[in-house]
Structure 1
């Protein structure tokens, strides 16, 4: 079932003009990446979204910050219930939704429904709510009696607070008006991503790592590259100064080939360079991915010099 969901997502994204690469076979924190001129997506697919772990969510947040991408989960159910179409859930702060809901975010506008503490939550047009109450010549107290909603809750709704979809529909029926806010969810996701990216990159220490488990990453960082180290992504690290650099490490020659393929697939979607570090193989590149012995890093004193060599080998 998970494979079917993934194939449906890939097929749909291609119809929307995205360049797509898949990573389901790598057992990483994401299954596909997609890019078109206006948008980058990183997606994890599950039948049961309870399988998505906190450490995977943390890695996905790093990926989103690195590539300025929207991250989300496509799934069908949790252990307790089946996901409903039209509702955006959360799993470890990552938006989760059915495939049908995923498709709908590319529509012009849809009701903005989120799942929170067992309830479907919507936003209301607070100005329209006040206008309709005045039109029916009702005080807050009178409307409270007619709907069974407390006066205090109605006051909050008229001042921009969200409510359950049941409460919203009750008000819509009584006041004979469409009150539930509709949003272009894609624009909403993009705006949220931009705000998060801007806030985090203004505080680099919260995005990029300063300490590393791997000595070669420590060396690359010392050259002047900002680096993020991964444990659940299909590559070891991401580095940047002015350009993106995907970094991995390989031990055996067959290992190098597999890792280069993954980096090539990522590069095909996200504009970046790629580097695999090894201890014993004297190769210059595989496909367009640079291969470099770890000891070679000691010959560089600046990030620019390292990047020049990587680009040189890419072109050979």
Structure 2
């Protein structure tokens, strides 16, 4: 485990959010990630993919500006898209975020710019996370137990050597407690083995309990085998999540709905839909009520409510989207 030294100087860090976004986008693209446009007033600022890693990223100078509402929505979107939400920032209150430390806001991991660069450029995952009462590391309890038994040490003997209680060593071995970095370093010296575990920053969050799925205004999609998640802080109006039983071959759909928008705004939204769809491996669609014959907007298929009533299942819906996208 690497020991964290003093804070690194921050004089060279970008101080404006726009500069942070450009710096992050450049770092991602230079290291094999495909990146989206940057989206204003969204729970995520950009999307990035490299092979199986899909990141929904929020970028802030002060991470305290990340709200509970944003966190709840980004969790719902990330769960549906099998993506990892991540906040990158510079400081909290008046304190700079430390390098190689994972913080947390409303259940979303938060890291400093230096940590982000280490992760993307050098594939170095942090091991230390900040929690109530200080800094902690997750340790591999099975390794501790195996090494202790190999060295013929009892729980109490190892505890005495590490200056902790017997109960603490037992909790470490059974995965019931996390350790302070200093204690982990002592144990590593005693056991002569690395025992800390890197923080997995690319986990997919569980579905938020308050996800608004299956609302009555989206009954056409529901009847085709989709659960609909309404979004308020994304570049699209809703996510349609295929039912795993009824729609085995269907992809998630990002959709914009009929809200009496003018053609200029619809065109702008179509560009965003197409951009996000290409990176997240989702289908994009407009679902409109208008009777005006319109098959696509900027390459994004348009399906009318009255047409959906004639479809039998998600397979018919996906076939119609493909036909209109290809044409």
Shorter-chain TM-score above 0.5: yes
2: CA distance between counterparts of 1:45 and 1:218? Answer: 35
Q: Deviations over 1:109-139 (max 9, x none)?
A: 545111111411113355458857996x987
Q: Displacement of 1:81 after TM fit?
A: 3.0
2: CA distance between counterparts of 1:108 and 1:273? Answer: 31
> Going by fraction, where is helix more abundant, 1 or 2?
1
Q: Displacement of 1:146 after TM fit?
A: 6.9
For residue 72 of structure 2, what is the aligned residue in structure 1?
58
Corresponding residue to 2:280 among 270, 276, 297 = 270
Asked whether the 8 Å contact 1:124–1:179 carries over to 2, the reply is: no
2: CA distance between counterparts of 1:24 and 1:314? Answer: 24
Q: 1:148 to 1:267 in 2, by over 3 A?
A: same
Q: Deviations over 1:260-305 (max 9, x none)?
A: 0110111221223221233445422122102344444344343333
Task: Tell me the TM-score normalized by structure 1.
Answer: 0.80
Q: Displacement of 1:180 after TM fit?
A: 4.9
Q: Displacement of 1:224 after TM fit?
A: 2.4
When structure 1 is superposed on structure 2, of 104-113 and 123-132 the one drifting more is 123-132
2:130 matched to 1:119?
Answer: no
3-state secondary structure, aligned to 1:17: coil
3-state secondary structure, aligned to 1:235: coil
Q: Displacement of 1:91 after TM fit?
A: 0.8
2:259 matched to 1:258?
Answer: no
Asked whether the 8 Å contact 1:112–1:181 carries over to 2, the reply is: yes
Corresponding residue to 1:247 among 247, 255, 272 = 255
Task: Tell me the TM-score normalized by structure 2.
Answer: 0.78
2: CA distance between counterparts of 1:97 and 1:62? Answer: 21
Q: Deviations over 1:44-96 (max 9, x none)?
A: 11111111111211111111121111111111122263211111111111111
For residue 224 of structure 1, what is the aligned residue in structure 2?
225
For residue 291 of structure 1, what is the aligned residue in structure 2?
302
2:307 matched to 1:305?
Answer: no
Q: 1:18 to 1:109 in 2, by over 3 A?
A: closer
Q: How many residues align?
A: 299
2:42 matched to 1:42?
Answer: no
Instruction: Give the RMSD, CA atoms, in angstroms.
Output: 3.2
1: CA distance between counterparts of 2:145 and 2:315? Answer: 58
Q: 1:148 to 1:292 in 2, by over 3 A?
A: same
2: CA distance between counterparts of 1:134 and 1:267? Answer: 53
Q: Displacement of 1:144 after TM fit?
A: 5.8
Q: 1:113 to 1:3 in 2, by over 3 A?
A: same
Asked whether the 8 Å contact 2:34–2:49 carries over to 1, the reply is: yes
1: CA distance between counterparts of 2:201 and 2:92? Answer: 23
3-state secondary structure, aligned to 1:105: helix
1: CA distance between counterparts of 2:252 and 2:149? Answer: 55
Asked whether the 8 Å contact 2:86–2:201 carries over to 1, the reply is: no
2:173 matched to 1:164?
Answer: no
- Show structure 1 runs of 5+ residues with no match: none
Q: Displacement of 1:165 after TM fit?
A: 1.7
For residue 214 of structure 2, what is the aligned residue in structure 1?
210
